[in-house]
Structure 1
Amino acid sequence: MPLLLTISCGIYNFTGAGPINADTFQVNYFQNYATQSPGSTFEPGMDRDFTQALQNRILNQTSLDLVNNGNADLLYEGEITEYRISPMAATAQQTAAQNRLSIRVKARFYNRNDPDADFDQSFSFFYDYPANVQLSAIKDEAHEVIFERITQDIFNASLADW
């Protein structure tokens, strides 16, 4: 009776996109430069939270190992460039009925094994909330929603095409 043996090489991500030609990744600290953008404000700790959210996204959706030694196959770095609250809808009394929190992140991705996959681009998302609610009351939920979308977009741009 013939014996059939199948051997596979490579690491597969959980999106089903195919093999990843990498074993390790590194996410450098995303500095918060939002105050340098007109109309933006500064949110303490957001830089740390975003960096961790991106690390967790990649850890949870791939079998890549996180390293911090500068020799990773995949490198992510960038800055938080905007953190803005804007009125979105007005009432009959000409006051805001709804506000929008917008966050923009500039991300750079470097693939040591495939430099053609490198990119430098901005990603943004928003969270709408009632104007009569203080940002501090919804901030954690808003950050979670926005970080979920932005980290998924960065993940898709860097890894989902493989």
Structure 2
Amino acid sequence: MKKIYLAGLLLILILTNSCSIYNFTGTGKIDAKTFQVGFFQNNAELIEPGIDRRFTLELQDLIQNQTNLNLVKTGADLSYEGEIIDYRISPMTATADQRASQNRLTIRINVRFANRKKETDDFEKTFSFYYDYPAEQQLTGATLNFALKDIFERITQDIFNESLAKW
């Protein structure tokens, strides 16, 4: 009976200790308590109004939803800043009469990440993703919103993985 009690106690200790090492987002142990996301200005040649603010807010939301970090305006342990460097629409596939049948929206974002607690994690890197849509559709309204949602979900998750999850 004593061995079963000790085995159960040991199992509980292992489970509680291992939960602090790993969580479901893959972030593991983070020494940081705060983060800040600077405004990602749109410096692309082709300007789509409002995407800079939308991207900034989506990155903040992702980090808040997947970590216990607190968002602050200044003096954060983790800092994200950068700019949108490319917003490009290009034809992808053509029909027999040399017209585009599909277009691609590509967005590239340059990110500078700084970790005040562990400076070896700092990086500057470009992240990009694309969305293909039929050429007969205009990139406005619902099509644009869906494209931005798809692209920003992928880019923000890639930034999160690179800076915190280390995948």
The normalised TM-score by structure 2 is 0.86
Show the counterpart of 1:32.
42
Q: Deviations over 1:88-114 (max 9, x none)?
A: 000011000000000000000000000
Q: Choose from 127, 136, 154 the match for 1:149.
A: 154
Q: Choose from 59, 63, 83 the match for 1:79.
A: 83
Distance apart, 1:12 and its partner CA:
6.2
Mapping of residues 6-155 of structure 1, within 5 Å: 14-35=24-45, 41-68=46-73, 70-137=74-141, 138-155=143-160
Structure 1 residues 42-51 or 3-12, which shifts more? 3-12
2:101–2:134 Cα contact (<8 Å) kept: yes
In structure 2, distance between residues paired with 1:15 and 1:94? 46
- What letter is aligned with 2:92? M
Runs of 4+ in 1 over 3 A off after TM superposition: 1-14
- What letter is aligned with 1:29? F
The normalised TM-score by structure 1 is 0.88
Distance apart, 1:31 and its partner CA:
0.5
In structure 2, distance between residues paired with 1:13 and 1:52? 24
SS where residue 20 of structure 1 aligns?
coil
Identity of aligned residues (%): 60
> How many residue pairs were aligned?
156
1:13–1:62 Cα contact (<8 Å) kept: no
Structure 1 unmatched ranges of 5 or more:
36-40
Structure 2 unmatched ranges of 5 or more:
none
- Pairwise CA RMSD of aligned residues? 2.2
